Structure 1
Amino acid sequence: MQLLVFILAYPFLWLISVLPFRLLYLISDIVYILLYRIIGYRKKTVRNNLKLALPHLSDEERLDIEKKFYRHLADVFLEMIKTLSISQEEMEKRFVYTNVEEILKLEKSKSVVLLFPHYANWEWTSSLDPQVASKGYAIYKRIRNPYFDRLVKRIRQKFGTTLIETKETIRVIRQNQRDHITCIYGFLSDQSPLMSKAIYWQEFMGVKVPVHVGSEILAKRTGLAVIYLRVEKVRRGYYQATFLTLAENPETYPDYQVTDMFLREVEKQIKEAPQYYFWTHKRWKHMGKAPDKL
């Protein structure tokens, strides 16, 4: 059944990927209507999240953000598919890194943990690899359907980035260090961890939630610098990304301070343009469950 679903879906996805952007966004407008107005995909979750994170806004203001978010969500979905056929030249025109020299400077002496949230277009961050000397790795979660899993890996690895699962990360880092290979390890770090792994709680958009700290712990243990990648949507189909060094030597910082710095940067972007955050995630599902003593 999984193979059949893939065989039926792939020709359609490939056809979408070769369309010019003008037609791609016409389809995105249709997907928006389907997701938002007909299916109502996770609409309850989105509304609850917006109310929790942006309580100071009126119902009308949050509704406006909600609609803009679903339009953006449709764009990101179609842009990910477009990656199947997009050229490197076109990608570099549409996803611009404003200060690659920040990475080039650091990679002369050490590898980097690159942190970013589900904001703007996180999928196109895989385009970094051709612009730096370091080898790029992205930590990802395997998709249950093995055929779609291979397709997603093909899309995300198109420009040279290698996808690895969380359980492989420390082994890969240690091996690259032994081989003296400088690397960039990308982490999407804004989701909610499992309660069984919630060792640190912090306020995020005014609500106390469990926070992923694995990337900070890993960076301290292996001596990697920590950088935040701030991705902004310039206009439809165009983004810019800026590197912000959080900690060149994270081992010198108190526990969880680097994680807090990451959270503050994410909050800053959400407050500036909330419609580009991924509100369908149940980011605040564990609110109110923090133990009395942490």
Structure 2
Amino acid sequence: MVTKLRLYIPTFVYEIKSIFAATKLRFIVQFLAYILVYPFLWLISILPFPILYFFSDLLYFIVYGLIGYRKKVVKSNLELVFPEKSEAEIKTIMKGFYHHLCDMILETIKSMTISKNEMRKRMRFENIEVMQTIAEEGQSIALMCGHYGSWEWLMIMQEHFTNHKGYVIYKRLANPYFDRLVKRIRAKYDSYLITTKEAVPTISLAKTKGEHIIGGFAADQSPKANKAYHWNSFMGINVPMYTGAEMLSKKFNLAVVFCGVKKIKRGYYSTHFQLITKEPSTLPNYQITDKFMELVENQIKEDPQYYLWTHKRWKHKDRIPTKMTK
């Protein structure tokens, strides 16, 4: 037994040292990537918009024309949900989508240095009184939006709600240095990023302190099939749906508001708010989720090129687990 321990301990120590060494090396590589890329991002962010969109057009040529980034996924998604459209119509939507995607990428980088006045001109809120009325009544809000139009520039909205702290549910970036950069950009607009696991304790603490919050949820993407509680039709296809926003709204009595973004022209957006409910606990389970997805679907049908088609949203189509059909 003693002999075995003598053999095991050095091996164990070596493995621990190897793990620490690998972790340290990974952070060094991530830091180097950050300090090399950051200056280029900053230089892009200070470009005037006409030049910025010139580079967006160049990026479109690379992403769509040369690389063909996820073109199979995009084409497959469009053909699945729009079976009535011709090949020419699908191609037109694809080109429009890739142009918009490249604009979005450059506009997100522009967020690093854009002034609040400039962003106010480019992201307008048509009926923000829907949100303000709820805020004045002292209720916290779950703001639900799809990956449609521009969801990044919505952060300027927070300046209208000084008595409500803004949180956005997000997926942490693998590179911690870029993750901190994204958080710093959001913080400039009094909007803070939290992970799904941090949502419940964060909102619970705010409630304990008597604070009000606005929680942002882009909840239209696909959860893991084996972890989904609810399936329903989205664009005519049966798929799993995220229900976290509904769960939190019921748990903490958050008023639920849909945020619909419309692209007016290049670099300019308008936002419309629609109240789903002020009393989430009174509604049957999943009715909030279904209503939200219906509103996202309406947006897509009106102008499909502005939806995020590169995501494999329908990868679990019609694969409801047996336990849920019983």
TM-score (norm 2): 0.88
**Cα deviations across residues 53-87 of structure 1 (Å, max 9, x unaligned)?**
11111110010000000000000000000011101
Query: Within the alignment, does 1:152 sit opposite 2:182 as a pair?
Result: yes
**Cα deviations across residues 150-202 of structure 1 (Å, max 9, x unaligned)?**
12222233211011111011111111111111110001101100123111100
2:9 match = none
Secondary structure at 1:125 match in 2: helix
2:262 match = 232
Query: Within the alignment, does 1:116 sit opposite 2:145 as a pair?
Result: yes
C-alpha distance in structure 2 between counterparts of 1:99 and 1:9, whole Å: 39
TM-score (norm 1): 0.98
My pick for the range that moved more, 149-158 or 129-138, is 149-158
Structure 2: gaps (5+ residues): 1-28
Query: Within the alignment, does 1:30 sit opposite 2:30 as a pair?
Result: no
2:18 match = none
2:286 match = 256
Secondary structure at 1:107 match in 2: helix
Identity %: 48
Q: CA deviation at 1:248?
A: 1.0
Query: Within the alignment, does 1:166 sit opposite 2:192 as a pair?
Result: no
Q: CA deviation at 1:234?
A: 0.5
The answer to whether the Cα contact below 8 Å between 1:96 and 1:239 also exists between their aligned partners in 2 is yes
Query: Within the alignment, does 1:5 sit opposite 2:33 as a pair?
Result: yes
C-alpha distance in structure 2 between counterparts of 1:56 and 1:183, whole Å: 43
2:127 match = 99
C-alpha distance in structure 2 between counterparts of 1:40 and 1:154, whole Å: 32
C-alpha distance in structure 2 between counterparts of 1:127 and 1:281, whole Å: 26
Q: Which amino acid aligns with 2:88?
A: E
For residues 1-294 of structure 1, the aligned pairs below 5 Å read 1-108=29-136, 109-133=138-162, 134-292=164-322, 293=325
Q: Which amino acid aligns with 1:55?
A: P
**Cα deviations across residues 18-62 of structure 1 (Å, max 9, x unaligned)?**
000010000000011111011111111000000111111111001
Structure with larger Rg: 2
Secondary structure at 1:255 match in 2: coil
Q: Which amino acid aligns with 1:101?
A: E
C-alpha distance in structure 2 between counterparts of 1:154 and 1:82, whole Å: 14
The answer to whether the Cα contact below 8 Å between 1:45 and 1:279 also exists between their aligned partners in 2 is yes
Q: CA deviation at 1:148?
A: 1.3
Secondary structure at 2:222 match in 1: coil
C-alpha distance in structure 2 between counterparts of 1:32 and 1:158, whole Å: 30
My pick for the range that moved more, 4-13 or 152-161, is 152-161
**Cα deviations across residues 71-104 of structure 1 (Å, max 9, x unaligned)?**
0000000000001110111100000111111111
The answer to whether the Cα contact below 8 Å between 1:112 and 1:184 also exists between their aligned partners in 2 is yes
The answer to whether the Cα contact below 8 Å between 1:137 and 1:162 also exists between their aligned partners in 2 is yes
Q: Which amino acid aligns with 2:146?
A: P
Q: CA deviation at 1:237?
A: 0.2
Q: CA deviation at 1:291?
A: 2.8
